[in-house]
Amino acid sequence: MGLLTELGVTKAQQTTLHPLVGRIFVHTLDHETFLRLPEHVAVPPTVPVTYQAHLQGHPDLPRWLRYTQRSPHHPGFLYGTPTPGDRGRQVIEVIAYNRDNFDTTRQRLVLLIGDPEGPLIPYQAEFLVRSHDVEEVLPSTLASRFLTALGGLWEPGELQLLNITSALDRGGRVPLPIEGRKEGVYIKVGSASPFSTCLKMVASPDSHARCAQGQPPLLSCYDTLAPHFRVDWCNVSLVDKSVPEPADEVPTPGDGILEHDPFFCPPTEAPDRDFLTDALVTLLVPLLVALLLTLLLAYVMCCRREGRLKRDLATSDIQMVHHDTIRGNTEELRQMAASREVPRPLSTLPMFNVRTGERLPPQVDSAQVPLILDQH
């Protein structure tokens, strides 16, 4: 452990880089760059280091630059393609964290973005490679191998790597954790030479129609990218910038007066209108409808009642006599129960003892005496 890195908090290291507009920029964040070890000591592979990068004075990276790292045991990558609006000087601050001893160190990357030299690259093609992740294509070795293999499908000429984008940044799904499944990566390549007949056939409308039906596209040449690169030929896009786009016409300001148009004849005078009738119809019609509904409801509830007399007439005499007899007998029993002077049974007294026959004196408040003597 004594040989492990000590990520210091001393003065930040500074590195100057020169990205080019329209060209892919890749910078590898190696553990060796941040770990201060003796020259004869190799970096242990078990040291986990993570990175955090941001534009100086801002919380995040510029919009053209991305950061990725597969795990703390793998190197990190800063990659992207600057646009013409990004020309100039940009400073990227990178902070490395040692997850073993939580030491930190800082590095400043000074990016001097300029224009590329050489001819323009009007012919650009983008391929979706499903057999690799973006971290596998960013190293220069694999990227050069892809350009070499693609040279068999393009006209002779120098191929330039323009952009690399993860398929997840284009709306792709995270693959299942199954061996052999990759996230996929979009690789944009440009050249000054025109597209080959093979590439034009792949991007033709007939090929797109076959892809829509689930069939492979038309490929008239040998796939030199296989088997090292599994390209989705249904997602190949070609861009031809050799023909300049017509410039947009700048509108000239006029005097503000419309020219005479025979098809547009606005009315010169607007006749007066009386809105009293419309207002009365709008207000009175709902009120009349509400009044009619109120009268109908009052008639149904008040004027259509059957009444007590009709109810008695509809009831048979035998049922009425039976009901009246029950009612009379009930009243008579109630009067007899209220006027009797028979003493109450001992069992109904509040504190009657069944065994001894004793009862409490009358002056005792029965509400304060418990029902069971054992509760004292």
Whether 49 and 97 have beta carbons less than 8 Å apart is answered as yes
- Highest average pLDDT, of 46-60, 173-187, 264-278, comes from 46-60
* Local confidence band at 286 (pLDDT 50, 70, 90 cut-offs): very high
Smallest CA-to-CA distance from 129 within 270, 214, 209, 223 is with 223
How many domains is the chain built from? 2
Question: Which residue range(s) make up the domain with 40?
Answer: 12-117
CATH number of 64's domain: 2.60.40.10
Does residue 370 sit within a domain? Answer: no
Distant-in-sequence, close-in-space partners of 369: CB < 8 Å, separation ≥ 6: 350, 351, 360
**What φ, ψ does residue 308 adopt, rounded to 5°?**
-75, -35
* Residue at 112: amino acid letter: L
Same domain, 146 and 238: yes
Say which residue, 307 or 295, is predicted with more confidence: 295
Which residue is associated with the tokens 């033709």?
204
Question: Are 236 and 123 in a shared domain?
Answer: yes
**Secondary structure of residue 99 in the 3-state scheme:** coil
Number of residues written out for the chain = 376
DSSP 308-372: HHHHHHHS-HHHHHHHHHHHHHHHHHHHHHHH--PPPPGGGSTT--TTT-----TTS-GGGS-SS
Tell whether 300 is covered by a domain. no
Domain ends where: 243, 272, 294?
243
* Domain boundary, last residue among 57, 91, 117: 117
Does one domain contain both 179 and 65? no
Cα three-residue angle 133-134-135, rounded to 5 degrees = 90
pLDDT band at 156 (very low <50, low <70, confident <90, very high): low
- In the predicted model, is pLDDT for residue 8 greater than 60? no
CB 188 within 8 A of CB 129: no
Q: Is the same domain home to 129 and 221?
A: yes
Domain boundary among 192, 215, 243: 243
Q: Examine the domain organization and report whether 16 and 105 are in the same domain.
A: yes
172 and 110 fall within a common domain:
no
How much is the pLDDT for 4? 36
Do the strands 49-55 and 65-69 form a parallel or antiparallel pair, or are they unpaired? unpaired
Q: Are residues 108 and 225 in the same domain?
A: no
The pair of three-digit structure tokens given for residue 2, joined into one six-digit string: 């004594």
Domain check: are 124 and 81 in the same one? no
Res 5 pLDDT > 60: no
Span 141-149, mean pLDDT? 87
In a domain, residue 358? The reply is no
pLDDT of residue 9: 43
